[in-house]
Structure 1
Amino acid sequence: MTSTTPPPRPAPVVELVSAGFSYEDGPAVLSGVDFAVAEGRAVALLGRNGSGKTTLLRLLSGGLRCGSGSLLLDGAEVAYDRKGLTRLRTTVQLVVQDPDDQLFAASVGQDVSFGPMNLGLPEEEVRLRVREALEALDIVALADRPTHLLSYGQRKRAAIAGAMAMRPRVLIMDEPTAGLDPHGQERLLDALQRLREAGTTVLMATHDVDLALRWADEAAVLAPSGLRTGPVAELLADDALLEEARLRRPWGTTVARLLRTHGLLTAGAREPRTPEDLDAWTGTGAASARQGS
């Protein structure tokens, strides 16, 4: 009898170890948190309002300093001095929820170039990074557009382009689809897919469990009992965890349960996670099920 050993999990790029944080004169927002972001993954961070999602993102990106525990980058503890934070911020970039808190230059191109210029890079290298970032987010045509004339969705993509111009290994985003219409969400997700294909690790905080199930490889759920991590489909099928975290069950999870209840989805078969997946399944999976009956 032979056994297969699962492939080793990629080493964490950035990691919180027993991390805790409290705002001044307030109770602990996070306590004893262990959370690792591995290379090449797409991770959805979920939790109710006030659960500490934004605080966790800011700890990972160096915007806040752990009150207890530590932040590791490639296995080494981050020093909160100029050298240590520069190293962290060239590896990990945070895009905040409101793009107006991040955009400040007169034009999109100027805004995207700000980070690379601050690194002291040669002018040609800065131009290359700006062009690559604008292409990745499909906003090359907006390079000379004043930032105050952009639509909300365009401002979101411009803010992400500014982070991407730093060529981070890890891109962290706080509610990136909030405020976008369905078309805007699809364009943003297409851009994120291109970034992932280029090797960028992406961590996204979101309230949208359907988006998390569709998009992520892994999930991290902040609940009163602590942080739970694991494969996204597994965590978002845990009814007790969802209830504790005040999250609803994803549409795709409910559909998959219904199909299994009626014997229409075999163990190990890929679950439909979106209405489009279900449409495709009705043309293939359902036909196969009928032929096998």
Structure 2
Amino acid sequence: MSAPILSLDRVSYAYPDSPLAVEDLRFSLEKGERVAVLGRNGAGKSTFFLLCCGILSPQRGTVSLQGRVLTGSKADRLELHRRVGVVFQEAEDQILAVTVEGEVSFGPMNLRLSLPEVERRTAAALEAMGLSDYRQRQPQFLSGGEKKRVTIADILAMEPDVILLDEPTASLDPENVTRLEETLDQLTEAGIALMVSTHDVDFAARFARRGLVFSHSKLLEDGPLTEIFSRPDLLREAGLRKPSFWQAAEALRPGQPSYPMTLEDFTAWAASGRG
């Protein structure tokens, strides 16, 4: 059995003159896995992402890539940056270049790859995100959904094993949320592991089966979302609500141990007579 793509073992981190932002964190991620990261603002989710992608280094504990413990050297940090990409909530904060093509090629160029390889990666990432006709467009004039696709193309051009997305549905209209979900499905089919930090439990339920719940700097729960949403104590502690279809099914048939979380699951549940 191969080692997890990414693992954190007993990791803790505190910002200057502040209490611990994450404490004694243990976590591992497999190839192609999808994980929803849940919890209140300030619970530790963003710090967790920054540790996973190497922007922050743990003050205690270790980060490993495919079983190899990283030392904190410059080479190891660069390797972590390359293999674990992060898409931040505000696309404007991540876009620097004056054209879409220049933006997407920026990362591969910093890897000091040959020009043909930079061009290959850039073209492949643009095509994957449906942006081939946007090469010379100026990013600041794109829609919110288009900017989000540019930031994902940025990461794809680095050919990562893992992509982290912070509140990816924020400020997107329903049409662009649907396009985003289709994009995430394509990334999963390509074998890329995905983690999404979100307050939208309905999106989380559609996206993943595994969830992480953070509260007060600690990882309270790591397990199936069906188990997480069946625990009222955990939901209260983390400031979470149940998904909409779960609530509807529970209102129809109270007292069951778990309920459907998505439209597809709810339809099957109702058709089976359990509703």
The answer, yes or no, to whether TM exceeds 0.5 is yes
Which gives a bigger RCO, structure 1 or 2 (Cα 8 Å, sep 6+)?
A: 2
Tell me the SS of whatever aligns to 1:93. Answer: strand
How has the CA–CA distance of structure 1 residues 41 and 240 changed in structure 2, closer, same or farther, with 3 Å as cutoff? same
Which residue in 2 is equivalent to 1:4?
A: none
Gaps of 5+ in 1: 1-7
Which residue in 2 is equivalent to 1:274?
A: 262
CA distance in 2, matches of 1:277, 1:229: 22
1:83 aligns with 2:75: yes
Kept in 2: contact 1:255–1:272 (CA 8 A): no
1:245 aligns with 2:238: yes
TM-score under structure 2 normalisation?
0.92
Q: Shift of the alpha carbon at 1:289?
A: 3.2
CA distance in 2, matches of 1:259, 1:166: 48
Q: Which amino acid aligns with 2:84?
A: V
1:35-184 equivalence runs, <5 A: 35-184=27-176
Tell me the SS of whatever aligns to 1:18. Answer: strand
CA distance in 1, matches of 2:211, 2:26: 14
Q: Which has the larger radius of gyration?
A: 1
CA distance in 2, matches of 1:262, 1:273: 16
Gaps of 5+ in 2: none
Identical aligned residues as a percent: 39
- What is the Cα-based RMSD across aligned positions, in Å? 2.2
Runs of 4+ aligned residues of structure 1 deviating over 6 Å after TM superposition are none
How big is each residue's C-alpha offset from its partner over 1:16-40, in whole Å with a ceiling of 9 and x where there is no partner? 1111111100111111111112211
1:289 aligns with 2:273: yes
Which residue in 2 is equivalent to 1:15?
A: 7
CA distance in 1, matches of 2:100, 2:217: 43
Equivalences, count: 273
Q: Shift of the alpha carbon at 1:173?
A: 1.1
How big is each residue's C-alpha offset from its partner over 1:271-291, in whole Å with a ceiling of 9 and x where there is no partner? 64334654x448xx52x539x
Kept in 2: contact 1:138–1:191 (CA 8 A): no
How has the CA–CA distance of structure 1 residues 27 and 17 changed in structure 2, closer, same or farther, with 3 Å as cutoff? same
Q: Shift of the alpha carbon at 1:46?
A: 0.6
Q: Which amino acid aligns with 1:145?
A: R
1:188 aligns with 2:188: no
TM-score under structure 1 normalisation?
0.86
CA distance in 1, matches of 2:260, 2:135: 39
